C-alpha cells in the first residue's frame, strides 16, 4: 500500500485531495489502495447491519465444506507434518471457525495464520480464533510447511488498475480533481506494453483491468507452496476468460454507490481475473484446478447432504437453511458469478470438488 505521503489526522477524501494537489492525478490503483485501507481499518463492514454479506456469513455450510476439503487434502497428502493453515483477509473469522469445527474429528492440529491489515477486524478475529498468529502481509508467513492458504473475497478487495484505449493510444486511468471532485482522467504515458497483442486491437473506448497487487501476492504464495508443499484455495467473483470493461464497484449498506465519491466510506471491489493468476501458479510449478463455479464446487463437495443433516437437527429452520443453500449455489445468486480455483503443489494429490459439467 503506498503511504509515502505523510498522513495528518484527516478524512480519506481530504488526504487524497492533498495528495493529488501535490503530485497531480494518481493511478486508480493508488486511489483504491488508500480508500480500502481506510475503509477496512475503521469498521466491521460485514453482515446485514454493515455494507455487504459474504458466503461464510450466510451459512456455516460454506466454511464447513472448506474445512473438510482442507483436511481431506492434507490427509491424502500424507497427513504427517503439522499443517500451516493460512487465511487471507479473514473478515470476522467466521470461515476459519467453521473450518476448524467441521474438521475437529480429523487428526490434524494446524497452526493458524491470519493475514489482515485492519486493526478492528484483527481484534474480532482474535476473539473467535484466540490461537491464531496475525500477519500484516504475506512476507512474515512461515517458511516451514506444508501450507494451505484460503482466500474468500480477498483478491477482489485489492487495488485494480485500468487501461483505457483513447484516440491517442492506450493510457492509464488516473484520478484527478475537478472543482474539488474526484474524476477519472487518462494519463499521458503510453501503456501498450502492458497489454497482449489481441487486447491492443480492442476498439477505442475499451477499458482493460490489470491486477498488479493480486498478481504479486499470488506469485509469491505460489512459489512458497511449490517449495513447501500444499495448496492455495481462491474463491471470489470474477471471470475465467480474458474480459474487458470496468468492473469497479462500490457498495455501501448493500447499495451501489459511485466509487469515487466516498473514498474510505464504501467497499471498493473489482472482479478477479483468474487467468493470469492460474498462469502464475503454473509457472511456479503448481497444478491448477478450476476455476469452476462456486455452486458446482459446493454441490460436488456434498452441500446437499450437509443441508439435510442440519435440517434434521433443527426442523424449525428448514426454510432458512434451504434459502441460504440457494444463495450459495443457485446460478442467479452466488453460484455462478463466484468461482473456485485451487493451485496445488506437484507432490500433493488432486483436490476434491473440481468436476467439470456443461
Ligand atoms: N474473507 C472474509 C472477509 C472478506 S472482506 C469473508 O469471506 O467474510 C475482505 C477482507 O480482506 C477483510 O478482512 C479486509 O480487512 C481484508 N483486507 C483487505 N485488503 C487487505 C490487504 N491488502 N491485506 C490484508 N487484508 C486485507
Confidence of residue 14 (pLDDT cuts 50, 70, 90): very high
93 lines ligand 1 (CB under 6 A): no
Please, are residues 71 and 100 in contact by the beta-carbon 8 Å criterion? no
Q: What is the pLDDT averaged over residues 298-307?
A: 96
The answer, yes or no, to whether residue 9 has pLDDT greater than 90, is no
Please, are residues 87 and 135 in contact by the beta-carbon 8 Å criterion? no
Q: Residue 75 class from Cβ within 10 Å (0-12 exposed, 13-18 middle, 19+ buried)? A: middle
Please, are residues 343 and 288 in contact by the beta-carbon 8 Å criterion? yes
CA 141 to chain centre: 18
Q: What is the pLDDT of residue 232?
A: 98
Strands 84-88, 147-152: pairing is: parallel
- Report the candidate in 155, 250, 162 with the shortest Cα–Cα distance to residue 205: 162
pLDDT tens digits, 202-243 = 999 999 999 999 999 999 999 999 999 999 999 999 998 888
pLDDT tens digits, 252-284 = 999 999 999 999 999 999 999 999 999 999 999
> Grid coordinates standing for 210?
490489470
Tell me the CA–centroid distance for residue 212 and ligand 1, in Å: 17
Q: Give the lowest-confidence range in 140-149, 171-180, 240-249, 259-268.
A: 240-249
Pocket test for ligand 1, best of 45, 89, 221 (most atoms within 8 A of CB): 89
Confidence of residue 356 (pLDDT cuts 50, 70, 90): low
Closest C-alpha to ligand 1, atom 22? 158
- Mean pLDDT estimate for the chain: 95
The answer, yes or no, to whether residue 2 has pLDDT greater than 80, is no
Tell me the CA–centroid distance for residue 226 and ligand 1, in Å: 24
Q: What is the pLDDT averaged over residues 137-162?
A: 97
Please, are residues 336 and 305 in contact by the beta-carbon 8 Å criterion? no
33 lines ligand 1 (CB under 6 A): no
The answer, yes or no, to whether residue 3 has pLDDT greater than 60, is no
Question: pTM of the predicted model, to two decimals?
Answer: 0.95
- Report the candidate in 155, 322, 134, 316 with the shortest Cα–Cα distance to residue 233: 155
Tell me the CA–centroid distance for residue 154 and ligand 1, in Å: 5
The answer, yes or no, to whether residue 5 has pLDDT greater than 80, is no
Give the nearest ligand 1 atom to 33 CA.
22
Confidence of residue 86 (pLDDT cuts 50, 70, 90): very high
Please, are residues 233 and 340 in contact by the beta-carbon 8 Å criterion? yes
Q: Most distant CA pair in the chain: distance in Å?
A: 64
> Grid coordinates standing for 327?
444463495
- Report the candidate in 210, 350, 187 with the shortest Cα–Cα distance to residue 277: 210
- Report the candidate in 313, 310, 332, 331 with the shortest Cα–Cα distance to residue 322: 310
Please, are residues 284 and 223 in contact by the beta-carbon 8 Å criterion? yes
DSSP conformation class of 87: E
Q: What is the pLDDT of residue 70?
A: 98
Q: Omega before 246 cis (within 30°)?
A: no
Amino acid at each position: 500500500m503506498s503511504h509515502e505521503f505523510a498522513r495528518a489526522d484527516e478524512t480519506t477524501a481530504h488526504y487524497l485531495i492533498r495528495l493529488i494537489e501535490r503530485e497531480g492525478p494518481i493511478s486508480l490503483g493508488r486511489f483504491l489502495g488508500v480508500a480500502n485501507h481506510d475503509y477496512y481499518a475503521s469498521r466491521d463492514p460485514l453482515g446485514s447491519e454493515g455494507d455487504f454479506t459474504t458466503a461464510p456469513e450466510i451459512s456455516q455450510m460454506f466454511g464447513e465444506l472448506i474445512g473438510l476439503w482442507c483436511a481431506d487434502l492434507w490427509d491424502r497428502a500424507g497427513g504427517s507434518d503439522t499443517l500451516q493453515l493460512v487465511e487471507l483477509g479473514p473478515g470476522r473469522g467466521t470461515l476459519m471457525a467453521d473450518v476448524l469445527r467441521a474438521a475437529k474429528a480429523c487428526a490434524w492440529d494446524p497452526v493458524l495464520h491470519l493475514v489482515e491489515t485492519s486493526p478492528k477486524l484483527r481484534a474480532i478475529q482474535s476473539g473467535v480464533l484466540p490461537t491464531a498468529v496475525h500477519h500484516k502481509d504475506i512476507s512474515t508467513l512461515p517458511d516451514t510447511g506444508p501450507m494451505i492458504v484460503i482466500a474468500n473475497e480477498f483478491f477482489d478487495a485489492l487495488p485494480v488498475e485500468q487501461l483505457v484505449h483513447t484516440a491517442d493510444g492506450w493510457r492509464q486511468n488516473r484520478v484527478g480533481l475537478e472543482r474539488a471532485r474526484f474524476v477519472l482522467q487518462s494519463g499521458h504515458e503510453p501503456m501498450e506494453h502492458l497489454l497482449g497483442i489481441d487486447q491492443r486491437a480492442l476498439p477505442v473506448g475499451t477499458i482493460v483491468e490489470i491486477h498488479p497487487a493480486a498478481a504479486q501476492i499470488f506469485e509469491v504464495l505460489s512459489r512458497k507452496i511449490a517449495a513447501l508443499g500444499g495448496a492455495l484455495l481462491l474463491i471470489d467473483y470474477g471471470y475465467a476468460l480474458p474480459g474487458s470493461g470496468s468492473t469497479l464497484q462500490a457498495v455501501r449498506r448493500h447499495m451501489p454507490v459511485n466509487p469515487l465519491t466516498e473514498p474510505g466510506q464504501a467497499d471498493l471491489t473489482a472482479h478477479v481475473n483468474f487467468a493470469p493468476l492460474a498462469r502464475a501458479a503454473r509457472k511456479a510449478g503448481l497444478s491448477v484446478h478450476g476455476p469452476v463455479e462456486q455452486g458446482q464446487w459446493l454441490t460436488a463437495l456434498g452441500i446437499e447432504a450437509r443441508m439435510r443433516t442440519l435440517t434434521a437437527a433443527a426442523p424449525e429452520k428448514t426454510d432458512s437453511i434451504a434459502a441460504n443453500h440457494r444463495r450459495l449455489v443457485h446460478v442467479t445468486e452466488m453460484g455462478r458469478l463466484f468461482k473456485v480455483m485451487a493451485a496445488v503443489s506437484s507432490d500433493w494429490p488432486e483436490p476434491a470438488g473440481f468436476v467439470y459439467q456443461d
